[in-house]
Structure 1
């Protein structure tokens, strides 16, 4: 925690540190050896004069550091380590019905409909008008499960950090298109492959010689990174590249979740009786093996 203005928002800084450390108010108070009531007064701004030792113990217990200096120290002396400001609590402005802040170490969000409220997972309200909802929705809600909370925050970090690009130097023919989704450290979390085809192979001379079409071969996203929008970003990158190349039509065969993905990206089901086909040579070989010889009397 560093002082960057004439007055430090001590309560806001402690809430931000607690969120970063994923600690409840009681957990931080126990770690620092400070009464929870004292911490609650500091965070709410009701404690006007706080002892420096109390602040130091709370900050250190939350994984932070108290820094004291004069303007220019960090710029003029390379030996002084840089102090990184703690990101604030995203939902610090939300209040419950009693006007209280939601716990900063949790993830709170506004509730606009039943889908925003995990407490309504059991209710089939989704298509009902509000006047027929059996319960009134809260203004906001939060996630209590640490496991789901960590997974949600991890997913948000992946969304922020992942980048999508077209690979052009992998030795593939120019008619083969490859897009990858990767993290800053180079880890691959998604891939899309497609190829161009000449529609005259299907329709003969009825199609202009300059026409080209794209066939989407497949979209793959690493299991833990699914449902984070990476597949849609890969398909969007393909669509943008098609526009630059002047290609208007793309074809795909999809099943299971791939159908929903492509529908969300603007594709439509043509209903021409396409089938997803598979050749499994191991299965074929097993089917052709002779059965066991009959038992001899």
Structure 2
């Protein structure tokens, strides 16, 4: 595995990091706790030392599973990245969505990052994770109802108390990062980035490069679309959020698969899967520090981690880049 520092901090994380959204079952209809724990352990065995989770993922379930999985690990050999600012148990802040929890009960989710809420969320996360500190604490989404300085004054307090090591953001614009840094330094911004979704590249990624902020790319496989396993007519399980997304409609799926057929020969030359090629390309992009890759089981986790062993030549990277640019 390759390890990279976040921003100007001394925190090193694995270039391929396990994203534990599906682990919590919420919106993915994945509820096998045993498989989820095994995926985290198998991932760690092959060098993936970093795990990205959040309270909203399964309404606490994902963090609990991560906590269970890392019990046998040396705490200083694993990096826990979690979040705050999405409440399903408090009607306050920006309304985000109506949904169902991992047990099928209707819930309403709010984006809220008030000071007392953050302090409370951190305590709950620490309990679920079974640890006394969080390596990277990230606001999940911007909250327009709370001043940014209030939000990060709370995070600064947690850092001073030793409960959080470093602060990051998710889904923040360059302007919002600037505002947050009036209160404390940030090391990272977690944003969506992949071959078929590069809208953040020109402004946000460029800003992060110029200001030494690491970019944590989430959905590098576009929620499974870039694995090549999704096809027109693919049937999603009831409750799988992808069924209604624009990128999973037949026309876009077909266009994507035509593109994947063009880069597949490069994967085959390296005895690699499409998903491994996509992940390796992602962490080779300027400004992208790590790729956050989800896995439902140990096999997927190990396959994702092994993407690090693909060594792409400059010519191969240019070929892929050219195809991506004309997608």
- TM-score interval, normalised by the smaller of the two chains: under 0.3
Pair member with larger Rg:
1
Greater relative contact order (Cα 8 A, min sep 6): structure 1 or 2?
2
More strand by share: 2
More helix by share: 2
